Amino acid sequence: MKPGLVLQHGDWGPPAILGDWAAERGIPLRVHRADHEPLPELDSPSFVASLGSNYSPVDTHVPAVAAELELVGAAVQRGIPVLGLCFGGQVLASVLGGTVERAPEPELGWHRVNSKLPDLVPEGPWLQWHYDRFTLPPGAAELARSDRALQAFVHGPHLGVQFHPESTIEIVQEWARLDGERLCALGIEDGPGLVEAGRRHAAAARAAAFKLFDAFWERSRAL
């Protein structure tokens, strides 16, 4: 089995729960640090997963962003399944013809996601940390949304989500610490506490993440 290619964009954004899922399922992963290494050639990985980033897909003046848009676009053209998580979901939406725009309100912490297809994208509170949002690409099917943004879509074997199924509370709390100045401007004084307030959702979110990754994997193998 070819390993899945995971694009990581910083020390603060590891595969985490996605990595745990792959290890439990016996699915090999190749984690590539896209923030400081040139992107690899596409050697027919079993799938490509793009994780969170400090950048937006609209930042095409950043060479690493432009290169990732090109790589994900090539994966789509070749029929290699793509799993886009937050920034990765925005990248996938972009290469499929959707747009990425500033969200009227950021989604920070735990937010309810309502799903049209819970077997693929489970409902319930998910961890979120984003200031932008994507629109539905042409030919894609909307799967889930919150009261502020489209949250998930599917296009052939590809799945893009706006939330962070791969991340733990501890990881997102570190983002909140790094984002302190930005949060203060929004009137949020305790970002880590905002994330901690949803601790009761953590076990269910982890189980839902495994369900989402299982469904993506099974669907990608069937199409």
Catalytic residues: 86, 164, 166
Pairing assessment for the beta strands 29-33 and 4-8 based on DSSP bridges:
parallel
H-only helix segments in 155-201? 169-178, 180-185, 191-196
Q: What are phi and psi of 206, to 5 degrees?
A: -65, -45
Structure token pair of residue 46: 């079993």
Q: Are 149 and 103 in contact (CB under 8 A)?
A: yes
CA distance 219 to 49: 15
Q: How many of the other CB atoms lie within 10 Å of CB of 143?
A: 21
User: Which residue carries 């982890």 as its tokens?
Assistant: 206
From the list 106, 207, 95, the residue with the least C-alpha distance to 160 is 95
The type of residue at 148 is R
For the chain, the straight-line distance linking the first and the last C-alpha, in angstroms and rounded, comes to 17
Task: Go through the chain and tell me how many residues it has.
Answer: 223
Phi, psi of 132, rounded to the nearest 5 degrees: -110, 170
